[in-house]
Amino acid sequence: MKLLLSLFLLVLCLFPVGVECSIASQISWAPMSNVSLIGSSGNRMIFRSTGEMPLIQSPTNLFLNANTMTMVKFNIKTQKSYLPGRLFFKRIGDRGFGYQNSVEFQNGIAGRNANILMDMSGHPNWNGVLDQLVLNPISSLGDIEISDFQLLEPSPILSIVSSYKEFMTFEMPQLRTVNFIYGPKVGGRSVNYYLYLLIIMSGLSYFAYLYLKFDLKTALSLTPKAILIACLFSWVFLDVRGLVDQIRTVIMDRQTYAGLTLDEKRARTVPGDFYDYIKFCDSNVPMGSKIGSVFPTYYYYKGKAAYYLFPIFFVEKNPDYILVYDPENALRADIDRYVREGFGVYAKFKEGKYILKK
Amino acid sequence: MTDLIKLIFSLLVPILMGAAFVSLFNPKKDKFQFLELSALSFLIGTGILTLEMLLLGMLKVRLDLQNILVVSAVVTLIPIIINFKNIKPGIPMIGPVKFDLTLLEVSALLAILLRIVFVLYESLVKPVIGVDAFVQWSLRAKVFYMTSSLSLDPSKAYFAGGGGDQAFYPIHIPLLETWIFNVLGYWNDALVKIIFPFFFVSLLIIFYYSIVRCSSRLFALIAVYLLSSLPMLLHHSTLEYIDMPMAAYFASAFIFLLQYLDTEDKNYLFISGILAGIGTWAKSEGMPLVIVPVLVLVFSHLFYKRDLVRTAGDIGQYIVIVLIFKVPWSLFNMIYKIPKNEWQRIEYDKVFDNLPRIPVIFGQFYSKFFFYGNWNIAWFLVVVVLAFTVWKKRDKRYVYALATMFLTLFAFFMLYYLTPSYRWLLDGTTLNRNTLVMMPILVYFVSYNMYVILSGKAEVKNDRK
């Protein structure tokens, strides 16, 4: 009893020590692109995102030692649930920012403060002296509130908390989830690894204990049962963790789809206003027409268009109409090719989004 | 509300069709409990319904609700007429309902029901989003519905429903979706996804009854909980992909084959053959996978029964039944000269050139099975169970399940070793989707052996008639 009480008091003492004695560096932010600052008080800043990829930047010349300040901690509140954000970092000597010098994090439930704590010690490029940070808080329109952004030195409690947060990170269902699911991780490693180690070590220990206390026959008889029960408990443990993600998925899908009409739901399954553009095409192109397309290649625009537009269908040669969806004005060369063949604007949805006809 | 009633009707029709055909193999109505019969009827009835739609389409009969219903009624009458003398009124084997569940049983049941509710909600709340669905299966379903035909003009852009260079893919699920659109009266790619939770629940029910007959109710519920909590299976049950229905057919075919090998009742062999046959009609991998139950039959008779004539007869009957479902689509492919599946073209000339693939394939198996979040710790459990049991006296159920698992895994190994599908292994696209079909059998193997080890029973009896 005394031993338990002592351990409890020790943990209690460690907690404030773990937090308060870490050296911390507060980071302030300024708008960089697709975002404007709409309010601030103390270390709390509110931004309004005006584009799909808002970026905010820290001051330059931070001169922070990445080798010692390996914990990133901040609070963030957004208007969409569970969407990813990304923190980019540039060290002294780096030419610029890049994905290899970044880490993804996950926002929490819309409208609620999410406490982000990331252990960067495992990141291969988090070293040297940090010059500047850039934050893409979320890829969505809306207001973003960021407060208490700090870089900290690690402590046992912070490591435990960041490991827990890593374990509980929501693996949001994406298109690739149909092929594989990463599963929860701790320290960048699958939790399964730790469970296997635990089961094997416990099994061997139990076997040794039974063998020493009783005999080989008893050990061989009881150890398999104990290991199987341990496996069952591990299964339930992983499953409960999976259940948390399933509940989050339901919350997210309910926010996205519940109460909408079928058309509105379909619009939510494609990026931007592409579905509205498809509906525009559907009402302007006669049924049975043969169409070609000029679409960006980074998403399944053509596949989706073919799916929604049938019985208007795509052809490789001699189309009657050309559907042009060029939101980033990057497909001019392809559009001009059709213009040279005699196609002109037949109907316009928005800038960069129209229908060509010969 | 109207849509709900129509949906129920759209599911009841194949269930009733399936029940009529299942009654051929269950003349005394003593083989199946009500829920099991319903699940089996759904699996079989959907296969018969879509096969009938394929044949109608090939004969250029308009695929509208009226025509499908009339022909379905005629088709359903056939087994009823054949079995007329044995027909008994009433629903089979519904006894008094007992609520004597223990706390553990209630917990397991609640966990399972939670998963079913999750699957139902996630399926119905959103429309089709899967890439393979909107470029192929769901697109073809829409084309079949809107043209009320199989779109049989090869010169047209949407010949055989579209699907581009994947037109060879069997169209069981697209036709099932077409049927539902016909009943609904409009194209609704959200509500049509109701079929996938039904495949999921049917699999769970058949799995439950296979385990409960050779263990306890508690253990059967735990086994079903383990199966229902596999993350990848759960995710696929919310989607419009073919992999989970294929798993339902393949696993059910295995379960009823096992029943045949236990009881020597030919009816189970025929049911297994039908389910394996519908598997070939659901997914192109279904046909190569038929080799697995055929080899298990060969194995069982050569090493246990030692009756070559009977073995040959059983295999012949099995293959004939499978071909009933396979041949029409193969004929369609031949008549319309649809290019074959290049991804599954066997590269015999590269048997030795592909040797460097072996460690890569094993590496992918190892990492994806043991250290990803797809299968919980199911594969680790297989290793644990094997470690404890492989050196002991094994019963037939153990041997057959292990043989099925091993042969299926070997089949996928050879798929990646000898065909261009290796490319889809490297980017992580197909391994888990392919091995999904064998996971119910893996969970069966693990659960059954866990019961034997934990209960201390050396051999478990099967009380199925």
- pLDDT digits 0-9 by tens, A182-237: 999 998 889 999 999 999 999 999 999 999 999 999 999 999 999 999 999 999 99
CB B165 within 8 A of CB B339: yes
Write down the ipTM of this complex: 0.92
Among B229, B368, B447, B453, most A C-beta atoms within 10 A, so best to mutate, is: B229
CB A140 within 8 A of CB A110: no
> Residue B90 above 70 pLDDT?
no
For residue B418, give Cα distances in angstroms to A352, B342, B410. 47, 12, 12
- Model confidence band, residue B22 (pLDDT cutoffs 50, 70, 90): very high
- Model confidence band, residue B86 (pLDDT cutoffs 50, 70, 90): low
Query: Is B126 in Cβ contact with A307 (below 8 Å)?
Result: no
pLDDT tens for residues A278-302?
999 999 998 888 899 999 887 889 9
> Residue A17 above 50 pLDDT?
no
Determine the longest span between alpha carbons in chain A, in angstroms.
92
Q: What residues are paired with A116 via a beta bridge?
A: A74
Taking contacts as CB-CB distances below 8 angstroms, the residues of chain B near A315 are: 157
pLDDT at A20: 39
In this structure, how many other beta carbons lie within 10 angstroms of the beta carbon of residue A83?
A: 17
Size of interface A-B (CB pairs under 8 A): 150
* Residue in A254, A262, A303 nearest the CB of B134: A303
Token pair 């073995």 is found at B311
Which residues, numbered 200 to 239 in chain A, qualify as contacts with chain B under a Cβ-Cβ cut-off of 8 Å? 224-225, 227-229, 231-232, 234-235, 238-239
* Residue in B134, B236, B372 nearest the CB of A183: B372
> Residue B350 above 70 pLDDT?
yes
The answer to whether A179 contacts chain B (CB < 8 Å) is yes
Taking contacts as CB-CB distances below 8 angstroms, the residues of chain B near A200 are: none
- Model confidence band, residue B134 (pLDDT cutoffs 50, 70, 90): very high
pLDDT at A304: 93
Q: What is the pTM of this model?
A: 0.89
Chain A nearest-CA residue for B155: A315
* Residue in B127, B453, B454 nearest the CB of A266: B127
Chain B nearest-CA residue for A289: B157
> Residue B465 above 50 pLDDT?
no
**Spacing of C-alpha A50 from chain mean position:** 20
- Model confidence band, residue B98 (pLDDT cutoffs 50, 70, 90): low
pLDDT tens for residues B395-408?
888 889 999 999 99
pLDDT at B47: 97
pLDDT at A9: 59
> Residue A21 above 50 pLDDT?
no
Query: Is B135 in Cβ contact with A306 (below 8 Å)?
Result: yes
- Model confidence band, residue A23 (pLDDT cutoffs 50, 70, 90): low
A134/A146 Cα distance (integer angstroms): 13
Strands (E), B2-150: none
Distance (Å) from the alpha carbon of A6 to chain B's nearest alpha carbon: 37
Taking contacts as CB-CB distances below 8 angstroms, the residues of chain A near B190 are: 262, 265
Average confidence (pLDDT) over B11-26: 93
> Residue B194 above 90 pLDDT?
yes
Would you state the torsion angle of the CA atoms of residues A274, A278, A284, A285, taken in this order, to the nearest 10 degrees? Answer: 130
pLDDT tens for residues A261-276?
999 999 999 888 999 9
Q: Which amino acid is at A54?
A: P
pLDDT tens for residues A50-78?
777 889 999 999 999 999 999 999 999 99
Percentage of residues in chain B having pLDDT higher than 70? 94
- Model confidence band, residue B46 (pLDDT cutoffs 50, 70, 90): very high
Taking contacts as CB-CB distances below 8 angstroms, the residues of chain B near A171 are: 373
Tokens of A100: 């290899």
What angle separates helix B266-282 from helix B34-58, to the nearest 10 degrees? Answer: 50
* Residue in B146, B241, B371 nearest the CB of A190: B371
Query: Is B384 in Cβ contact with A178 (below 8 Å)?
Result: no
Taking contacts as CB-CB distances below 8 angstroms, the residues of chain B near A311 are: 146-147, 158
Strands (E), chain A: 24-26, 30-33, 35-41, 44-49, 55-57, 64-65, 71-77, 84-91, 102-106, 114-119, 129-136, 142-152, 185-186, 189-190, 290-294, 313-314, 321-325, 344-350, 353-357
Query: Is B453 in Cβ contact with A225 (below 8 Å)?
Result: yes
Query: To the nearest whole number, what is the mean pLDDT of chain A?
Result: 88
For residue B98, give Cα distances in angstroms to A4, B95, B102, B174, B318. 47, 9, 12, 40, 39
In this structure, how many other beta carbons lie within 10 angstroms of the beta carbon of residue B152?
A: 15
Query: Is A300 in Cβ contact with B131 (below 8 Å)?
Result: yes
> Residue A12 above 60 pLDDT?
no
| SS3 state at B415 | helix
Tell me the Cα Rg of chain B: 22
* Residue in A235, A300, A310 nearest the CB of B143: A310
pLDDT at A19: 41
